C-alpha cells in the first residue's frame, strides 16, 4: 500500500506558553479555528482550560483558564452548539471517576465565558468517556463509564428545546446476556440508527467486525457484522481511545489502541452498508487518547494523544490532511495564508481588502482581546 502521512503543522503562540501536550481532551473545528477543551498531562494533572488555533495563521490563543473552565474536562464530549458556542457534556477530573457530571456546559467561542445550560427530560447518567455526535438539531450520546460500571446508555439532546430523550430501552446486551457497555468508543449516525465503533470495558477491547447498532424507532440494540475492505479482505483491529469524524454517511476512524499496540491507521466506515475501507493515509506516529475534527472545507485535523502504552509522554502535535478537494475559494485562501504569511501580519484590514481578499476571510484573522489570552 502506498501510504501517505498526515502533515504536521508548525503552530506558535504570540504571548505566554503554547498548550502542553495532552490526552483525554476534545477538539472541534469551524471554518476559521480549531478549538480544544481540557485534557490531562501526568505532570500537571487535569488541564482545566480551553484554547483555539487559528487555521490560517496557526497561532494558538488561550480562550479560558482554571478560573472559569468547568472542572470535568477529561474524557468529556465536545460538540458545536450552533452560532458562536461550544457544548461539553459529561466528563471527569482526576482521580478519574472521582468527579462525574452529566451537565451541559456552554462556552462562547469569542469571549471564553462558560455557563451551565438548564436542560429538561430524561438526561443521561453522570459518566465519562462517552461518544457523541451532533446531527441537525440533535446531539446523540452513547456509552461511558463511572470508573466501575460500563454503559451503553443512549440519549439525544434536542438543542432548540434543551430536552433530553432516552433512546434505548436497555443498556445493550447480546442475545446471550453479555453486556455491550463500554467507554472511549466512537459513534456514527445514519438516519435513525446509531452505530457504535470499538471501545472497551474493564476486560475487553471490542472488535470492529461486530458493531452495536441502535434502532432509534424501536429503542432496541442489535449486533451487526461489518463488511471487510473489499481489496484487503480485512477489518480494523479491535481498539479503544481512537478518534473519529463523520462526513455525510462515512465515519473516519483514526488510530487507537488495543492495550498493547498503538495504531497509526485511518479507516472509513460506510454507515449504510457497514463496509470498511482502509485509506492510504497514516498518522506520522501512532496515537491513542487523541482527538480528531473535520473543518467545513473537508480537512481532517488530529491533535494530542499518547504515542505508546508504556510512555507517559503526551503529544502536542497538530496533524492535518484533506479528505476531499476544498472549494476553490478555500484552496486559494489556504495557498495565500501558507505563502504570504508576512502580508497577513503586516497589513491592516483595508490593505487586504484592496488586494481583493474577501471580508469574510479577513474576519478569520481576528484575535482575542489581550485580557482573554
Q: How far apart are the C-alpha atoms of 203 and 186, rounded to whole Å?
A: 18
Per the model's pLDDT, the better-predicted residue between 174 and 215 turns out to be: 215
Contacts of 167 (CB under 8 A, 6+ apart): 140, 154, 155, 156, 194, 214, 216, 219
User: What are the tens digits of pLDDT across the range 217-251?
Assistant: 999 999 999 999 999 999 999 999 999 999 999 99
Average of pLDDT values for 139-168? Answer: 96
Please give the grid coordinates belonging to residue 240: 479503544
Percent of the chain exceeding pLDDT 90 equals 82
> Residue 369: pLDDT band by 50, 70, 90 thresholds?
confident
- 68-82, 181-195, 292-306, 342-356: least confidently modelled range: 342-356
Per the model's pLDDT, the better-predicted residue between 4 and 15 turns out to be: 4
Asked if pLDDT for residue 190 goes beyond 90, the answer is yes
Asked if pLDDT for residue 373 goes beyond 50, the answer is no
Q: How far apart are the C-alpha atoms of 26 and 23, rounded to whole Å?
A: 9
Average of pLDDT values for 288-296? Answer: 97
Percent of the chain exceeding pLDDT 70 equals 97
**Are the C-beta atoms of residues 74 and 99 closer than 8 Å to each other?**
no
**pLDDT at 351 (0 to 100):** 81
Strand pairing partners for 351?
Answer: none
Asked if pLDDT for residue 324 goes beyond 80, the answer is yes
> How do strand 4-5 and strand 275-282 relate by DSSP bridges?
parallel
Asked if pLDDT for residue 1 goes beyond 70, the answer is no
Asked if pLDDT for residue 291 goes beyond 60, the answer is yes
**pLDDT at 261 (0 to 100):** 98
Asked if pLDDT for residue 146 goes beyond 50, the answer is yes
The structural domains of the chain, with segments of one domain joined by +, span 4-324
Average pLDDT value over all residues in the chain: 94
- The domain made up of 4-324 has a fold known as Neuraminidase (2.120.10)
57 φ/ψ angles, rounded to the nearest 5 degrees: -95, -15
Asked if pLDDT for residue 175 goes beyond 80, the answer is no
Q: Which residue reads 495563521 in cell numbers?
A: 57
DSSP code per residue over 186-199: EEEEETTEEEEE--
**pLDDT at 316 (0 to 100):** 98
**pLDDT at 294 (0 to 100):** 98
Q: How far is CA 214 from the centre of its chain?
A: 21
User: What are the tens digits of pLDDT across the range 87-124?
Assistant: 999 999 999 999 999 999 999 999 999 999 999 999 99
Task: Give the predicted TM-score (pTM) of the model.
Answer: 0.96
Average of pLDDT values for 268-279? Answer: 98
Q: How far apart are the C-alpha atoms of 109 and 305, rounded to whole Å?
A: 23
Asked if pLDDT for residue 144 goes beyond 80, the answer is yes
Average of pLDDT values for 37-59? Answer: 96
Q: Which residue reads 478519574 in cell numbers?
A: 96
Amino acid at each position: 500500500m502506498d501510504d501517505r502521512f498526515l502533515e504536521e503543522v508548525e503552530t506558535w503562540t504570540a504571548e505566554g506558553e503554547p498548550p502542553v501536550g495532552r490526552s483525554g481532551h476534545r477538539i472541534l473545528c469551524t471554518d476559521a479555528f480549531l478549538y480544544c477543551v481540557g485534557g490531562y498531562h501526568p505532570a500537571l494533572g487535569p488541564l482545566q482550560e480551553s484554547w483555539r488555533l487559528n487555521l490560517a495563521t496557526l497561532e494558538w490563543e488561550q480562550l479560558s483558564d482554571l478560573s472559569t473552565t468547568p472542572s470535568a474536562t477529561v474524557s468529556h464530549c465536545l460538540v458545536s452548539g450552533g452560532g458562536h458556542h461550544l457544548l461539553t457534556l459529561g466528563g471527569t477530573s482526576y482521580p478519574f471517576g472521582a468527579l462525574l457530571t452529566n451537565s451541559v456546559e456552554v462556552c462562547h467561542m469569542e469571549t471564553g465565558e462558560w455557563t451551565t445550560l438548564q436542560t429538561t427530560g430524561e438526561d443521561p447518567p453522570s459518566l465519562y468517556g462517552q461518544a457523541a455526535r451532533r446531527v441537525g438539531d440533535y446531539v446523540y450520546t452513547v456509552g461511558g463509564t463511572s470508573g466501575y460500571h460500563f454503559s451503553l446508555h443512549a440519549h439525544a439532546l434536542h438543542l432548540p428545546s434543551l430536552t433530553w430523550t432516552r433512546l434505548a430501552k436497555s443498556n445493550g446486551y447480546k442475545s446471550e446476556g453479555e453486556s455491550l457497555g463500554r467507554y472511549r468508543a466512537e459513534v456514527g449516525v445514519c438516519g435513525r440508527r446509531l452505530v457504535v465503533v470499538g471501545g472497551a470495558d474493564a476486560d475487553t477491547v471490542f472488535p470492529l467486525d461486530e458493531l452495536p447498532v441502535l434502532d432509534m424507532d424501536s429503542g432496541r440494540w442489535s449486533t451487526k457484522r461489518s463488511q471487510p475492505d473489499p481489496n484487503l479482505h480485512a477489518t480494523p483491529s479491535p481498539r479503544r481511545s481512537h478518534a473519529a469524524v463523520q462526513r455525510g454517511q462515512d465515519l473516519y476512524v483514526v488510530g487507537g489502541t488495543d492495550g498493547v499496540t498503538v495504531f497509526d491507521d485511518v479507516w472509513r466506515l460506510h454507515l449504510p452498508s457497514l463496509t470498511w475501507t482502509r485509506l492510504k493515509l497514516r498518522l506520522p506516529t501512532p496515537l491513542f487518547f487523541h482527538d480528531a475534527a473535520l473543518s467545513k472545507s473537508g480537512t481532517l485535523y488530529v491533535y494530542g494523544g499518547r504515542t505508546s502504552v508504556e510512555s507517559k509522554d503526551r503529544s502536542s502535535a497538530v496533524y492535518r490532511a484533506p479528505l476531499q478537494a476544498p472549494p476553490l475559494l478555500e484552496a486559494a485562501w489556504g495557498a495565500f495564508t501558507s505563502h504570504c504569511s508576512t502580508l497577513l501580519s503586516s497589513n491592516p484590514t483595508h490593505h487586504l481588502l484592496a488586494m481583493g481578499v474577501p471580508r469574510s476571510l479577513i474576519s478569520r484573522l481576528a484575535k482575542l482581546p489581550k485580557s482573554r489570552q
